[in-house]
Amino acid sequence: MPEGDVVWLTARRLHEALAGRPLTRAQFRVPRLATADLRGRTVLEVVSRGKHLLIRVEGGLTIHSHLLMEGRWQIRPAGPMPRDHRVRVVLANTERQAVGQSLGLVELLRTAEEDAAVGHLGPDLLDPGWDGGLAAQAVARLEEQPSRAIGEALLDQTRLAGIGNVYKAEVLFLRGVHPWTPVSDVPDLPALVELAHRLLDANKARHGHVTTGDLGRGREHWVYGRAGRPCRRCGTRVERAPQPSDVGDRTAFWCPRCQPAR
């Protein structure tokens, strides 16, 4: 599932391609929206909210989509309709065409009612107002469930929005925290949340999640995807195990020496 920085970058590229121009094509290939017609309406803006995408159009309407595991939006020059069974949405103007493939969720909402779709989310790690109190809100939401394993809590989008399995593993390694540590036992929880924000913010404008500072292929991560291989810091074998999340089990990665169990 794409992390919050990938969704943020997708929103920016959709905004650049569509915002400020009327739609010449707006086709929904999902049964409940088959008759929806947004042609002629101007796209006002495209924003991300955690892992959700909101395309706001003239007339107080919002196209809400979620990529889930396999979805993606592609930006192409304006042209013929794509012939691909995976396509769920096509939005185009005279210059660009945005094609949503394998989207896990597509719905058309009134903009005034967006909270029905995303109001349950915790503070967005890439919200422009992060430094205005959202960090403290995210910490408070995590602390509401003190006995919950921190690795599980970080993936709960109602606590804070945007972290996926990559950043969960990397943030916990960098803070020296075992994935099954109860939230109440995490040393300096605000610092852990702030590190998550900094990592997503540093990666939001590029492809890939680099947490080591090394852009070389295969050297981007400390422990994520490195089970059975030596820890980059101490040489201990990196472990892995399934850990629950709000969207099913995910694999936790950790170094037993750098992240000792408490």
Catalytic positions, please?
2-3, 51, 250
d(CA 225, CA 150): 19
CB–CB of 212/202 below 8 Å? no
SS3 59: coil
Distances (CA, A) of 23 to 27, 84, 253: 10, 21, 45
The sign of the CA dihedral 171, 175, 176, 182 is: negative
d(CA 50, CA 2): 10
Distances (CA, A) of 33 to 38, 39, 108, 205: 11, 14, 8, 32
List, in order, residues 6 or more apart from 162 with CB less than 8 Å away: 3, 4, 5, 7, 50, 51, 124, 125, 126, 196, 200
